Structure formats: C-alpha cells, structure tokens
Amino acid sequence: MREALSENPETLGVARDDVLSALLSSIRLSGSLQFCFMPTGNWQTDAAPSLAALSARASGTMPFHIVVAGRCWLKVEGQATDLEAGDVLVFPFGTGHQLGAGREGMLVLPTRDLPEKPWREIPVLRYGAEAEGVRLLCGYLQWDGLSFGPLRQALPKLIHVRTRAANDGDWLRATIRQMTDEVDRPRAGGVSMLPRLTEIIFIEILRHQIMMAAPDTSGFLAALADPALSRCLSVIHDDPKRDWSLEQLAAASGLSRSALADRFQAILSTSPIRYIRDWRLTLASMALATSTQPIAAIAYDTGYATEAAFNRAFSRAFGSPPAAWRAMARD
C-alpha cells in the first residue's frame, strides 16, 4: 500500500475543516458569565484577577474581554499591548493579566464589585467621573474542551483577534453590536441571549486561531496540517462512537497500519486507538455534566462493556469517578 496519497490544497482544506467542525460542534460551553465594564480616566485592574469571583470551577474557566468602545492597554507577563474597539481577548488557561488606561490610575476590581446572582439584567459597572472612557464586555467562559489534551496543547495563553483588521470580521462586529444592544436595551430573555452570542463568538475565534496558527512539527495543529492524519482525524470525529479498528483508520488515511501508528506517535504522542479513547472520555465528561443519561448508558456509548471498566478509565483520566465528577460539575 502507498504510504501517502497525492494531495491538492482544496481536499486537504476540506478534511481539516471537517475535523474542526466536528470537534467544535461536539464541545459546547458548559457555563458563562457576562458583565459590562465602563471605567473612565486613568485606571487599572488587579494584575491577577480572581477567577474564584467568577466561577466556582477553576478548571476550564477562560476570562474574556471585548473592547466595545475606547482604548486601553493590556499587560500579560510584563508585555504591554494597546487595545482598541473591536478587539476580542480570550485567555484559555486563565492567565493572569491587567487592563488599564493611562499611568498610575485608580485600582478597580470589577469581579469583586459584581452584584450577587441571579441577575435580572446584565450588570454594568462604572468607575470614574469623566464623560467618556472605555467600554468592555467581560466575563468568563466555562469550556470543557480543555480537558482534551490535543486541543488544549494547541491553544496559546492568549487569543487576541482585532476584528477591525480582519477581512472576514464583519459578522463578528455585528454580533458584538448585538451583544451591546442586549446590555443597553434590556429585553425579556436578554440574560439568556448573551451567553449564546458569546458562544458563537468564541467558537469562531477558536476556529480562526487554529486555522491561522502556524503548525509546528508536532501537536494537534501539525496533525491537521498532515494530509494522512487530517483524513484519519476527520473520520474519527465524524463518527466517534464507531468501533474503529486500526485497519479501518489506516485505509481512511491512505497509510499502512504501521505507518499510521508511527505518524500518530511522532506527531500526537499517542496511538490512534488511544486518541479515540481519550476523545470518547471527553464526550463522556460532557454527557455527565449536561445530561441525565445513566452512567451505564454513557459507559456503553464510550465503548466500555461494563460500567466498572468505564469507572476505572474515567477515574484515571479525570481524577475522580463518574458519579463524583457529575456531582462536582453540577455544583
């Protein structure tokens, strides 16, 4: 069998898009919080904002900021960046950062000043007495996709998209305007609408980040750029519950079994079958968190013959058995 098939850029791009579409459509936000932050004058936030003030679950909690109007600066690990209206920032790993305007401004702590939940309207936090300032939509996203190692390793500490400079940023800007309208003109259902708009923005930004990042010699981005692995990942994510054999995956990728196994190991540091197992366990974790499906049924969908075997595998992957993890996820 040939070790690789002939490629053209269009077919490779389709396979890569198929992988991302299937993967991202499978992983939904399990929680989020949004508020409007409007400081004026010279100001600065704490350099290490407390995620505990935003979410009881630290794992998979990603702060985000959308600059709606005005200008400010961002500091991450000593590096400063100027921000303008239309900039979107996401911190996949909750990296400590600081926002501000001017020098030596007043310290503002928006996460501390948020009102107690539940909220009937999106909170608007104002600081300073000047007429004009900066306006940001801020909050956090709870995304369980970070529990999947290959995807987690593909993400940077900061995702920064300048929608004004993006050629395809029109719909992002329109979505941001709609989010702002929901804050300015509260309507019935607005509190539930904002998380959905936030999710749309996040998924597209994540897709943009993965597609535009330069692939390395190893990792998930390198696998997407590899024609054979991209085809293999496409069929896996298109039908993760299928009882895949190495022979079937090799046929889909256009490689021999040994060549596929070697390339998986070299680029993704795992085997095809183990990759499938880890992805299924990730899907199982989301089912536990978001559904009332019995654990035995989730075990079956994950490819385990018995609930006991599923419990052992899940505990090794997530550090606690499924029942305990489900209780924690819903706390």
| 254 inside domain | yes
Identify the band that residue 224 occupies on the pLDDT scale cut at 50, 70 and 90. confident
**Cβ neighbour number for residue 92 with a 10 Å cutoff:** 24
Please write down the HEC assignment for all residues of the chain: CCCCCCCCHHHHHHHHHHHHHHHHHHCCEEEEEEEEEEEECCEEECCCCCHHHCCCCCCCEEEEEEEEECEEEEEECCEEEEEECCEEEECCCCCCCEEEECCCCEEECHHHHCCCCCCCCCCEEEECCCCCECEEEEEEEEEHHHHCHHHHHCCCCCEEEECCCCCCCHHHHHHHHHHHHHHHCCCCCHHHHHHHHHHHHHHHHHHHHHHHCCCCCCCHHHHHHCHHHHHHHHHHHHCCCCCCCHHHHHHHHCCCHHHHHHHHHHHHCCCHHHHHHHHHHHHHHHHHHHCCCCHHHHHHHCCCCCHHHHHHHHHHHHCCCHHHHHHHHCC
Find the domain containing 274 and state its range.
Answer: 218-329
50 has pLDDT over 60? no
Q: Are residues 65 and 118 in the same domain?
A: yes
- Of 25-29, 105-109, 131-135, least confident by mean pLDDT is 25-29
Q: Binning pLDDT at 50, 70 and 90, where does residue 119 land? A: confident
Q: Which of 150, 180, 212 finishes a domain?
A: 212
Q: Does residue 15 sit within a domain?
A: no
Length of the chain: 331
Does 140 score more than 90 pLDDT? no
Q: Are residues 172 and 231 in the same domain?
A: no
Residue 54, in any domain of the structure:
yes
Are 94 and 149 in the same domain? yes
Contact 42, 48 (CB under 8 A): no
**57 has pLDDT over 60:** no
Residues 110, 258 within the same domain: no
pLDDT at 15 over 70: no
Q: Provide mean pLDDT across the span 203-209.
A: 80
pLDDT-derived band at 53, boundaries 50, 70, 90: very low
pLDDT of 10 higher than 50:
no
Residue after which a domain boundary falls, among 180, 212, 244: 212
Mean pLDDT of 231-259: 94
Q: Is the pLDDT of residue 65 over 50?
A: yes
Q: Is 288 found in the same domain as 265?
A: yes
Would you say the pTM of this structure is higher than 0.85? no
pLDDT of residue 209: 77
For position 134, what pLDDT does the model report? 94
Q: Are residues 144 and 83 in the same domain?
A: yes
Query: Is 114 domain-assigned?
Result: yes
pLDDT > 70? residue 66: yes
- Residue ending a domain, among 181, 212, 243, is 212
Q: Which of the four pLDDT bands, split at 50, 70 and 90, describes residue 168?
A: low
- Regarding whether 154 and 280 lie in a shared domain, the answer is no
Residues 100 and 246 in one domain: no
Grade residue 142 by pLDDT with cuts at 50, 70 and 90.
Answer: confident
Residue 11 domain-assigned? no
What are 229's two structure tokens? 């692995």
Number of domains in the chain: 2
At residue 308, does pLDDT exceed 90?
Answer: yes
Query: Are residues 51 and 167 both part of a single domain?
Result: yes
Q: What was the pLDDT predicted at 234?
A: 92
- Percent of the chain's residues with pLDDT above 70: 87
CATH code of the domain containing 80: 2.60.120.10
Q: First and final CA of the chain: distance in angstroms?
A: 52
Query: Same domain, yes or no, for 39 and 186?
Result: yes
Q: Is the residue at 16 inside a domain? A: no
On the question of pLDDT at 262 being above 60, the answer is yes
